């Protein structure tokens, strides 16, 4: 038997200027220029040049298996001929990428403002600085196109990848983390630096004004362990840093008027994303290292009185923030298991808001008069329709505020109670003990009500009780999850309701959406030319039987313009007041179907939604499309937001 000769000791071969240690950005650029002039080499030659495999062995391996240095190069690692780091180093040379001495490399001062330390750790990279309008980044896998794309998206710059050993990357990140912690301890880092290092993609929130946000993250990192056991997570969740971090997150969400906090866990070493929903849109708030995701979720479970050991099933709970040193605030918590044993959390902020007056909802004068007339009726049923978060509950509470007088007894069944009013008798639903909407309504009918509000009609039982109550001398308000008013009619009939009783009980249906208002400080006026005006008219008429003349008359009436007048709209620009977005606040888009003799006949005949819709439009109803486009010519919203309401 002939034995193969042993592999020689690996000694890097320095044969030209490209192989000299690169320890600064100027040297990196010079080395890159030299590298580009070098002849292209294959993997076998690169391994030999770097002293990772000797020439004789490489030739023998190539003779035995020609594809080993081509399509099956990963087998070199499997056969322990080279390490993964060494293979990546050789592949970098094949790709013409530069190798640097990261241990002694002079990083640019602001390198970690473009890629934060937690982000760098999750991707196993070290940002070096800008050179020739590119962000140079050290990686142990610099040939990865996915990594380059991720880094470009994070930093907002074109990225130049270079090779450095995995161990050197870990060492430099540890060093940078210690330097940041020391700087914080000695007051050498400003609040501006704190925000830039923590906020993803340079996003700025009010967190900058809160001293020590990064300090809280560093403190939490130093206090948590690496174990995922329930006992360890419970201990880490109760640590001072994690307690302060969660309290700060909730306080900041409340201060900036966020409606929801989204905590999104990612597998492996990927960072945990925290986002706030403001004015209907999700905005980045904070990125946390992977080590903090377990303690963070556990801390929220502890505050919500949930089972921290249960990760396989969804859990729901509530937090009374005042119990944990915060302001008066209740949060509804939903914990949802995802892949790899991870969990996402959504917290909805439920401040005890006061009802808005009808005049503040964004209703057109004609629609406000119709809704006010609904409120004054002594019996009948009014429905608010739309998707989750479209403002249905707000509309119903505004209607109740109009009739909330000492001579009225008003009961509400809600899940959850988001808006409170003195004088209302409000009941929180609890399915665990059998307190459902249907059961609550039956109880209300024995408590001498004048007006009943039911949070949602979800089933046939609730719908039947609601209709019966509205026919026996009570005004009933409720919500439905449907797309528009005419579909709401069919939805209730599909639940098995008697069309005669439903037609007699229905007063009207308010379908609605919420869209973003143009910022009143920076939006600019823009006249419409004839082509744009005709396109707007065509879009207004689409889906209805309106004629060109009828559509034009409605739009002119909405703007108080006449046929020879100039129609002007506004477009978003962006300023400090609106955070550069061009939008500030939200407004409702409404479609109000008022029951009439002809509508009642269609309900009794189980007509199609299109027939109900066409009849209502002929009788004067503005659809969601109509109301949205009328608000465009009124300068309240732009066409982009209008289309979100009906497309």
Distance CA 7, CA 4 (A): 9
Answer yes or no: is pLDDT of 244 > 70. Answer: yes
Q: How confident is the model at residue 309 (pLDDT cuts 50, 70, 90)?
A: confident
Residues 370 and 341 in one domain: no
Q: What are phi and psi of 481, to 5 degrees?
A: -95, 80
- Nearest Cα residue to 134 out of 284, 28, 44: 28
Distance CA 629, CA 642 (A): 6
Cβ burial, residue 409 (10 Å; 0-12/13-18/19+) = middle
Q: How confident is the model at residue 620 (pLDDT cuts 50, 70, 90)?
A: very high
Q: How confident is the model at residue 80 (pLDDT cuts 50, 70, 90)?
A: low
196 lies in some domain = yes
Pick 241 or 520 by higher pLDDT. Answer: 520
Give every CB contact of residue 158 below 8 A, 6+ residues apart in sequence. 133, 134, 135, 152
Residues 248 and 337 in one domain: yes
Q: What are phi and psi of 585, to 5 degrees?
A: 85, 175
Distance CA 438, CA 454 (A): 9
Beta strands in 120-205 (DSSP E): 125-131, 134-139, 158-163
Distance CA 329, CA 421 (A): 16
578 lies in some domain = yes
The pLDDT mean for the chain works out to 82
19 lies in some domain = no
Count of structural domains within the chain: 3
Residues 302 and 383 in one domain: no
Question: Degrees (nearest 5) of the Cα angle 629, 633, 637?
Answer: 70
pLDDT in tens, 273-306: 999 998 888 888 888 888 888 889 999 999 999 9
Residue 123's pLDDT is what?
Answer: 86
Residues 442 and 382 in one domain: yes
Q: How confident is the model at residue 115 (pLDDT cuts 50, 70, 90)?
A: confident
Residues 344 and 363 in one domain: no
Residues 448 and 531 in one domain: yes
pLDDT in tens, 419-458: 888 899 999 888 878 899 999 999 999 999 999 999 999 8
Question: What's the distance, CA 466 to chain centroid?
Answer: 36
575 lies in some domain = yes
127 lies in some domain = no
Distance CA 50, CA 290 (A): 35
Question: Degrees (nearest 5) of the Cα angle 64, 67, 69?
Answer: 95
pLDDT in tens, 591-607: 999 999 999 999 999 99
Residues 318 and 424 in one domain: no
Residues 435 and 335 in one domain: no
- Nearest Cα residue to 385 out of 282, 506, 498: 506
Residues 264 and 369 in one domain: no
Question: Degrees (nearest 5) of the Cα angle 20, 167, 37?
Answer: 30
Between β-strands 451-454 and 410-414, what pairing exists: parallel, antiparallel or unpaired?
Answer: parallel
Q: Which two tokens stand for residue 139?
A: 């990686």
Distance CA 216, CA 509 (A): 50
Segment among 215-219, 391-395, 429-433, 467-471 with least mean pLDDT: 215-219
Answer yes or no: is pLDDT of 333 > 90. Answer: yes
Other beta carbons within 10 angstroms of residue 209's beta carbon come to: 11
Answer yes or no: is pLDDT of 250 > 60. Answer: yes
590 lies in some domain = yes
Residue where one domain finishes, among candidates 349, 369, 393: 349
Q: How confident is the model at residue 345 (pLDDT cuts 50, 70, 90)?
A: very high
Q: How confident is the model at residue 70 (pLDDT cuts 50, 70, 90)?
A: low
Classified as helix, coil or strand, 600 is helix
Whichever domain contains 440, its CATH number is 3.40.50.300
Give every CB contact of residue 71 below 8 A, 6+ residues apart in sequence. none
- CA dihedral sign, ordered 253, 512, 468, 463: negative
pLDDT in tens, 502-554: 999 999 999 999 999 999 889 999 888 889 999 999 999 999 989 999 998 89
Residue 427's pLDDT is what?
Answer: 93
Segment among 110-119, 217-226, 410-419 with least mean pLDDT: 217-226
Residue 65's pLDDT is what?
Answer: 67
Distance CA 187, CA 177 (A): 15
Between β-strands 134-139 and 125-131, what pairing exists: parallel, antiparallel or unpaired?
Answer: antiparallel
Give every CB contact of residue 365 below 8 A, 6+ residues apart in sequence. none
Distance CA 172, CA 125 (A): 10
Report the length, in residues, of the chain. 647
Give every CB contact of residue 178 below 8 A, 6+ residues apart in sequence. none
Residue where one domain finishes, among candidates 349, 377, 395: 349
Share of the chain residues as helix, strand and coil, in percent rounded to the nearest 5:
45, 20, 35
Classified as helix, coil or strand, 131 is strand
- pLDDT > 70 fraction of the chain, expressed in percent and rounded: 84
Residue 507's pLDDT is what?
Answer: 96
Residue 85's pLDDT is what?
Answer: 77
219 within 8 A of 241, measured Cβ to Cβ:
yes
Residue where one domain finishes, among candidates 52, 72, 94: 94
pLDDT in tens, 1-31: 333 334 333 334 333 444 568 888 888 888 8
pLDDT in tens, 481-494: 999 999 999 889 98
Residue 643's pLDDT is what?
Answer: 93
Distance CA 28, CA 18 (A): 10
Distance CA 618, CA 181 (A): 69
Other beta carbons within 10 angstroms of residue 624's beta carbon come to: 21
Residues 214 and 311 in one domain: yes
Residues 515 and 447 in one domain: yes
Residue 155's pLDDT is what?
Answer: 77
Residue 311's pLDDT is what?
Answer: 86
Q: Which two tokens stand for residue 356?
A: 């808005």
109 lies in some domain = no
Answer yes or no: is pLDDT of 182 > 50. Answer: yes
Question: Degrees (nearest 5) of the Cα angle 614, 586, 326?
Answer: 135
User: Mean pLDDT, to the nearest integer, of 204-232?
Assistant: 55
- Nearest Cα residue to 304 out of 296, 316, 312: 316
Q: How confident is the model at residue 364 (pLDDT cuts 50, 70, 90)?
A: very high
Distance CA 517, CA 633 (A): 13
Give the domain extent around 558.
Answer: 358-646
442 lies in some domain = yes
Q: Is the pTM of this model over 0.75?
A: no
Segment among 176-190, 537-551, 570-584 with least mean pLDDT: 176-190
Distance CA 42, CA 25 (A): 27
Whichever domain contains 243, its CATH number is 3.30.450.90
Residues 302 and 367 in one domain: no
- Nearest Cα residue to 631 out of 578, 591, 580: 591
């Amino acid at each position: 038997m002939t034995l193969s000769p042993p592999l020689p000791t690996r000694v890097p071969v320095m044969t030209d200027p490209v192989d000299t240690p690169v320890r600064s950005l100027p040297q990196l650029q010079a080395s890159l220029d030299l590298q580009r002039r070098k002849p292209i080499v294959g993997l076998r030659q690169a391994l030999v040049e770097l002293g990772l495999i000797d020439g004789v062995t490489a030739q023998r391996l190539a003779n035995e298996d020609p594809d080993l240095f081509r399509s099956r190069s990963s087998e070199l690692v499997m056969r322990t001929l080279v390490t993964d780091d060494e293979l990546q180093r050789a592949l970098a040379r094949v790709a013409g990428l530069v190798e640097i001495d990261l241990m002694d490399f002079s990083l640019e001062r602001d390198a970690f403002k473009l890629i934060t330390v937690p982000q760098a750790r999750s991707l196993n990279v070290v940002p070096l600085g800008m050179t020739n309008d590119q962000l140079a980044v050290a990686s142990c896998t610099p040939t990865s196109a996915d990594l380059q794309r991720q880094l470009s998206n994070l930093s907002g710059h074109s990225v130049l990848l270079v090779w450095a050993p995995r161990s050197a990357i870990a060492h430099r990140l540890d060093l940078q983390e210690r330097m940041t912690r020391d700087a914080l301890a000695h007051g050498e880092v400003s609040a501006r630096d704190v925000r830039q290092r923590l906020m993803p993609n340079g996003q700025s929130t009010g967190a900058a004004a809160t001293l020590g946000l990064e300090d809280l993250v560093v403190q939490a990192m130093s206090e948590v362990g690496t174990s995922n056991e329930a006992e360890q997570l419970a201990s880490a969740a109760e640590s001072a840093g994690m307690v302060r971090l969660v309290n700060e997150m909730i306080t900041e969400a409340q201060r900036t008027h966020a409606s929801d906090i989204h905590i999104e866990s990612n597998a492996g070493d990927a960072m945990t994303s925290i986002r706030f929903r403001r004015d209907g849109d999700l905005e980045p708030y904070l990125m946390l290292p992977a080590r903090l995701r377990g303690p963070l979720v556990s801390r929220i479970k502890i505050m919500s009185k949930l089972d921290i050991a249960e990760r396989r099933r969804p859990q729901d709970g509530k937090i009374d923030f005042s119990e944990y040193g915060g302001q008066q605030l209740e949060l509804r918590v939903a914990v949802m298991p995802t892949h790899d044993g991870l969990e996402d959390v959504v917290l909805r902020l439920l401040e005890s808001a006061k009802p808005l007056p009808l005049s503040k909802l964004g209703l057109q004068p004609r629609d406000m008069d119709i809704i006010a007339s609904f409120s004054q009726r002594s019996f009948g049923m009014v429905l608010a329709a739309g998707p989750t978060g479209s403002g249905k509950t707000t509309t119903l509470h505004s209607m109740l505020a109009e009739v909330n007088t000492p001579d009225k007894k008003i009961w509400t069944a809600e899940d959850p109670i988001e808006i409170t009013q003195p004088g209302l008798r409000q009941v929180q639903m609890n399915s665990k003990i059998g307190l459902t909407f249907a059961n609550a309504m039956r109880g209300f009918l024995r408590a001498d009500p004048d007006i009943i509000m039911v949070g949602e009609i979800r089933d046939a039982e609730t719908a039947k009780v609601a209709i019966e109550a509205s026919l026996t001398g009570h005004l009933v308000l409720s919500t439905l999850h449907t797309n528009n008013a005419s579909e709401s009619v069919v939805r209730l009939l599909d639940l098995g309701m008697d069309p005669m009783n439903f037609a007699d009980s229905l007063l009207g249906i308010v379908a609605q959406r919420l869209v973003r208002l143009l910022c009143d400080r920076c939006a600019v006026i823009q006249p419409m030319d004839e082509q744009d005006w005709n396109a707007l008219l065509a879009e207004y008429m689409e889906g209805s039987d309106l004629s060109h003349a009828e559509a034009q008359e409605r739009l002119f009436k909405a703007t108080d313009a006449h046929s020879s007048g100039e129609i002007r709209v506004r477009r978003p620009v962006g300023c400090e007041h609106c955070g550069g977005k061009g939008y500030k606040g939200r407004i409702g888009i409404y479609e109000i179907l008022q029951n009439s003799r002809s509508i009642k006949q269609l309900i009794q005949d189980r007509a199609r939604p299109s027939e109900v819709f066409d009849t209502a439009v002929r009788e004067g109803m503005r659809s969601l499309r109509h109301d949205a486009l009328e608000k465009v010519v009124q300068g309240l919203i732009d066409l982009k937001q209008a289309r979100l309401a009906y497309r």
